[in-house]
Amino acid sequence: MNIEAKYDIIIAGGGLSGLSLAWYLAKGGYQGEVLIVDSTFAPVNDKTWCFWTKKEPPFKDIIYKKWNKCWVSVLDYKTFRYMHSFSYYCIRSGDFREHVLRELKWQKNFTLLEENVLDLSSNKSKASLITKNGDTYLANYIFQSILKPRELKEGAIKYPLKQHFLGWEIIAIEDSFDPETFTIMDFDDEFSPGVGFMYVLPYTQQKALLEFTVFSENLLKKKKYKQKIRHYLYHNFGLDEDHYEITRKEYGIIPMEDRPHHPYYEQNIINLGSVGGQTKPSTGYTFTRIQDYTKDVAQELIDGKQPSPPTPSKFKYRFYDLLLLHILSNSTEDSLRVFRSLFKNNHFDEILAFLGESTNIREDLRIMSSVPYGPFFKAIWHNL
């Protein structure tokens, strides 16, 4: 075994979770040696991360846009909704990576390595990372976000749903958008199988990101997403293909599944991000959960403590997610009815608190009593 170097910490994967951990370590004054490994560190804006919070947002210096008003449309219910306690933010992945890497370049104890990871392994005292060119790097701990958990068995997942989407960032030749109002969900009532909706982030009167998003087990051909976006631009904004320019494209697949919680890849190797179970199954949102965990674990490492692995959501939220996954998997009609009642019968701040897992049991019961009982009774019966 060709051992190249030894480190205190290795971060395998330079995406959102890996670089967030590196950021909090660096800003907190961590003194150990850190190696960050990824195939490339080029700052490309190929993803847009959105989140909501009542507090000062993380990475406030690179917030690309903020909203406090949204549009929702499902079946016959169409309305504007306002946020009073929360704000909704977006950060672009290229801006994030550039911002973090700029900070890390000032830190002499942080090393960046552009290599592909072949394997990870560990014993009681050390963890090792092997690159595809055969080099081995040792560390006390490895935090990884690139390999699926070893113990993950696909057969153990009852509802293998995915949130998949294709988006266009466009510039229109004329004022077409309200930059103060984003569209959180404009459902395509005729789409099947699965649940499909348009998600719109307007940055200016002429610039916006539009994504056709689907909750389903199977992916679409990319031309189908594109057809939906073209149709939406024409029928909702009066824009045909000659009236806008596509400046950037996004494509993504986010797991929305009842995946068993596997915080460790092996001993001394901790899973981060989606592979660490930090994506909320019923929504696909991950950003805030990653920030909360990486900030806490960075402080543990700075204090010289053993790092804690990511913890699962409370049982009640995992059960709520399981019920909604059952409904999304089995009935498009029931899914739309649930979303219609959820948005119609609750303040938007209450919905965000519930989805963000910051509600008490009384607030949970109020949310649950606002949606049709039938689909949830069926889901409970099938998941007891």
CATH number at residue 245: 3.30.70
Nearest 5°: the CA angle 228, 232, 235 is: 135
Q: Are residues 209 and 338 in the same domain?
A: no
The verdict on 286 and 372 lying in the same domain is no
What is the reported pLDDT for 125? 84
In a domain, 117, yes or no: yes
Question: Domain for residue 10, yes or no?
Answer: yes
Neighbours of 57 (CB within 10 A): 20
My answer on whether 97 and 43 are in the same domain is yes
CA dist., res. 384 & res. 147, Å (int): 32
Q: Does one domain contain both 207 and 342?
A: no
Final residue of a structural domain among 236, 256, 276: 256
Are residues 148 and 22 both part of a single domain?
Answer: yes
Q: What is the tally of structural domains in the chain?
A: 3
Over residues 8-45, the pLDDT tens digits come to: 999 999 999 999 999 999 999 999 999 999 999 998 88
Q: What does the alpha-carbon distance between residue 270 and residue 274 come to, in Å, rounded to a whole number?
A: 12
How would residue 3 be classed by pLDDT, with cut points 50, 70 and 90? Answer: confident
Q: CA 10 → CA 41, 119, 143, 288, distances in Å? A: 16, 13, 6, 23
Contact 215, 328 (CB under 8 A): yes
User: Is the CB of residue 67 less than 8 Å from the CB of residue 181?
Assistant: yes
d(CA 242, CA 7): 55
Same domain, 63 and 133: yes
Residues 366 and 220 in one domain: no
The confidence score (pLDDT) of residue 110 equals: 97
- The predicted-structure confidence for 131-169, as pLDDT tens digits, reads as follows 999 999 999 999 999 998 877 776 678 899 999 999 999
- Asked if residue 77 is part of any domain, the answer here is no
Domain CATH for 110: 3.50.50.60
CB contact at 8 A, 120 and 128: yes
Backbone angles phi, psi at 210, to 5 degrees: -120, 130
Count other Cβ atoms within 10 Å, centred on residue 364. 16
Residue 78 lies in a domain: no
Residue 332 DSSP SS3: helix
Q: What are phi and psi of 152, to 5 degrees?
A: -70, 120
Distances from the Cα of 232 to the Cα of 14, 196, 212, 238, 240, angstroms? 35, 13, 9, 9, 10
Does a structural domain hold residue 26? yes
Q: Would you state the structure tokens that stand for residue 200, as one six-digit string?
A: 């719109």
pLDDT of 382 higher than 90:
no
Instruction: Produce one character per residue of 324-354: b if its CB has 16 or more CB atoms within 10 Å, e if not.
Output: bbbbbbebbebbbbbbbbbbbebebbbbbbb
Residue 210 pLDDT exceeds 70: yes
184 lies in the same domain as 266 = no
pLDDT tens per residue, range 249-286 = 999 999 998 878 889 999 999 999 998 888 998 888 99
- Residue 45, in any domain of the structure: yes
Question: Is 82 contained in some domain?
Answer: no
pLDDT of residue 356: 94
Residue 189 and residue 271 share a domain: no
Residues 7 and 126 both lie in one domain:
yes
Q: What is the pLDDT of residue 1?
A: 57
| Section 189-197 average pLDDT | 94
Peptide bond before residue 312 is cis, with ω within 30 degrees of 0:
no
Q: Is residue 79 part of a domain?
A: no
Query: What is the Cα–Cα distance from 268 to 307, expressed in whole angstroms?
Result: 9
Which domain does 371 fall in, by range? 315-383
Last-in-domain residue among 268, 302, 336: 302
pLDDT, residue 51, reads 97
113-128 per-residue burial string, b: 16 or more CB within 10 A, e: under 16: bebebeebbbeeeebb
Same domain assignment for residues 284 and 136:
yes
- The model's confidence at residue 115, banded by pLDDT at 50, 70 and 90, is very high
Together in a domain, 281 and 194: no
